[in-house]
Amino acid sequence: MSIDDFYTGIVQDMKAQGIPCAITGGLACVEFGIVQHTEDCDLICAPEFAPQFFDFLCRKQWGGASCQYRGNLSPPLDTRWLKGGYTCHFLWPSDAEEQPFLDVFGVPPRVSTPWIADIQGFLAGRHTVAEMKRTNRRKDWDQATALGIQLLERGDKRGWLHIFDADALRDLLASISPGADAMSQRPVLQLAMENSPLLDRAVQTEIDFWTQLNRARLMIYADSIRPYAMAVRQDKRMAGVDLRNQHAIRLEYACELLPKNPIRDFGVDRLISQAIAAVAVGIDAALLKYLPDAKVNFSREAYSSEDGELI
């Protein structure tokens, strides 16, 4: 069995049990023909099914090795923290040439529409994968653009939201109309329609904005998880125990030290405002009005207050 078959087998087994899950990230891009290789697997699992998924991981082996948590930073695979936007990390430390590395999301970051409705077989849909690619890594922007082009080729107008290459936007506009929905969700498309000289700078400003937003988001989680990670690292009970015992120890510290929803605690509006302020330094203020409304990219279930309003 190849390591990619191992990953897809996890999703197939989960789906057979009625657990919504899908592969995203680099492995999805491999399957979509955008990249050639990736070393790990990003997987989305509906948070309410965390107990069933954890039980499955306790039984799943690779090369004779059992699953373990990877590193001190991983929170426990638990509905409460998955719903708060954390990512759980696992590995199978076998003697095989390749070792599987699995990252599990409950709330895929930056995804604006229900990811479950977008699943394609064992993969998250191109739209879901592309929104998750709005990171602070340069290579992800090329992949997002490639996914956007594939969406347009398949007649899905959401592709316009993911093309972060000004020349590609100009070329595609010669044969495809963005439509009202895409224009309203992404103001920079108006510049493309007008063939404005501001387009190149506006697209780069978008990239800078999402980059700053993701850096700030990661910093919030890093600050929140630090006391928990230190406690896990110092606990001598972690040495040589199986996944269930690792989980019990992590759960003990998480209940005491790990905030369940750090983005909601920090405030979505505050997070976005800080990203805009960081982007605004040294640029023409006119470019800021072409930034998208990023609030739609924060799940209301995960980051909203009890009355449903993002905070």
Q: What is the CATH code of the structural domain delimited by 3-118?
A: 3.30.460
Going by C-alpha positions, the residue among 65, 69, 107 that lies closest to residue 88 is 69
* DSSP designation for 39: S
Interacting residues of 146 by C-beta distance below 8 A, sequence separation 6+: 29, 32, 34
Neighbour-count burial of 41, counting CB atoms closer than 10 A to its CB (0-12 exposed, 13-18 middle, 19+ buried): buried
pLDDT at 96 over 80: no
User: What is the overall mean pLDDT for the chain?
Assistant: 93
Q: What percent of the chain has pLDDT over 90?
A: 86
Residue 276: pLDDT over 80: yes
Binned at pLDDT 50, 70 and 90, residue 260 comes out as very high
Task: Kindly tell me if the per-residue pLDDT of 303 is higher than 80.
Answer: no
Asked if pLDDT for residue 26 goes beyond 70, the answer is yes
Measure the CA–CA gap between 112 and 127, rounded to whole angstroms.
Answer: 9
Band (311; pLDDT cuts 50, 70, 90):
very low
DSSP string, 164-178: --HHHHHHHHTT---
Average pLDDT over residues 106-114: 95
pLDDT for res 308: 47
pLDDT class of 94 with cuts at 50, 70, 90: confident
Buried b (16+ CB within 10 A) or exposed e, 120-141: eebbbbbbbbbbbbbbbeeebb
The pLDDT of residue 221 is above 50? yes
Compute the Cα dihedral for 55, 40, 76, 87 and give only its sign: negative
Q: How many CB atoms lie within 10 A of CB 80?
A: 18
Long-range contacts from 248-255, C-beta under 8 angstroms, 24+ separation: 250/69, 250/74, 250/75, 250/76, 251/76, 251/78, 253/228, 254/75, 254/76, 254/78, 254/81, 254/228
Question: Measuring CA to CA, how many Å separate 127 from each of 22, 163, 169, 286?
Answer: 13, 11, 17, 29
What local confidence, expressed as pLDDT, does residue 306 receive? 52
pLDDT given for residue 304 in this prediction: 55
Burial class (CB in 10 A: 0-12, 13-18, 19+), 61: exposed
At residue 305, does pLDDT exceed 60? no
Q: Is the pLDDT of residue 37 over 90?
A: no
Lowest mean pLDDT among 68-72, 123-127, 236-240: 236-240
Determine what percent of the chain is predicted with pLDDT higher than 70: 96
Q: Give the confidence band of 268 by pLDDT, cuts at 50, 70, 90.
A: very high
Q: Taking the domains of the chain in order of start, what are their residue ranges? A: 3-118
Spell out the residues 6+ positions from residue 180 whose beta carbon is closer than 8 angstroms to its own. none
Nearest alpha carbon to residue 166 among 202, 141, 216: 202
More confident residue, 45 or 174: 45
